[in-house]
Amino acid sequence: MDLLRGLCAFPITPATPDGTVIEADLRRIVARIARAGVDSIGVLGSTGNYAYLPLDQRRRATRIALEAAGGRVPIIVGVGALRSDDAAALARDAREAGAQGLLLAPVAYQPLTPDEIVAHFRHVAEAGQLPLVIYNNPTTTHVTLDHALLARLAALPHVAGVKMPLPASGDIAAEVAALRPLLPPGFVIGYSGDWGCTRALLDQADAWFSVAAGLWPDDTLTLSCAAGAGDATGTRLAEERFQPLWALFRRYGSLRVIHAAARMMDLTEADPQRPVLPLPDSEHAALRAAIRAIDA
């Protein structure tokens, strides 16, 4: 599905310490992404603090983002929640607000059986009635979606793509080749983990779900287009400027780094939602250098 292919930019959701979305900041961030012409914008993903925001503020963030994008770029909304009924309600609300797609992480406290995971996705997909991306992120959700379970989920109505973590083996080409026969024709396979996603595109993945594109949409789009076209040399040259940022992402997690970068770029004063703490002050000089490298 073309809606889900290419570069999907994931912005932060600036919010006060009590979880109230800062409307002006979110509008500013989403509007500058939309102007760059990325393929889609993913609001309320992990970078968007979805797991830490009250449900009413998640609905509010969806409406703000849609208004700020102004129809220029499709909006995909993260609707993951512990309770299936909450996730389904968020999915319905996103569709009614005008979203074009959904992203569902199977968040769990109690361990979930494969049948429970399938029932959860079916319930949310039926409620949303929009193209839905499976968010496969066992590090944060504590739910592991193996290839067999992904195949079951992909067969559900409205489920149209998957957002994969970078494989521990580092062999993305092998993973994509193994997944293709298990999934319906045209099913979108995308990756997150910015430092490995150009490799994923070069290895025939369909999408890059990018944290960096939430702040540097133009530069990241250039990088995505080079990799998507199979230009390995152009990709390597364009990506050199991002290497200091990727190093910080790997060391501290992209959520902390990207919030600190947004503050340095005067886009917001918001920090991550507690209990997540901001990037240590000792790393601010390295982050400023990383920003300068991208802007060079």
Q: Which two tokens stand for residue 141?
A: 């959700």
Active site residue: 50, 109, 135, 252, which one?
Answer: 135
| Catalytic-residue membership of 163 | yes
Question: Phi and psi (nearest 5°) for 158?
Answer: 80, -15
Q: Which two tokens stand for residue 74?
A: 């499709």
Amino acid present at 56: D
| Catalytic-residue membership of 135 | yes
- Residue 201 C-alpha from the chain's centroid: 16
What distances in angstroms separate CA 99 from CA 37, 94, 193, 197, 253, one per listed residue? Answer: 17, 5, 24, 25, 28
User: What is the β-pairing status of strands 75-78 and 101-104?
Assistant: parallel
List Cβ neighbours of 268 (8 Å cut-off, separation of 6 or more): 12, 14, 22, 25, 28, 29, 262
Active site residue: 50, 52, 109, 163, which one?
Answer: 163
Catalytic residue numbers read 135, 163
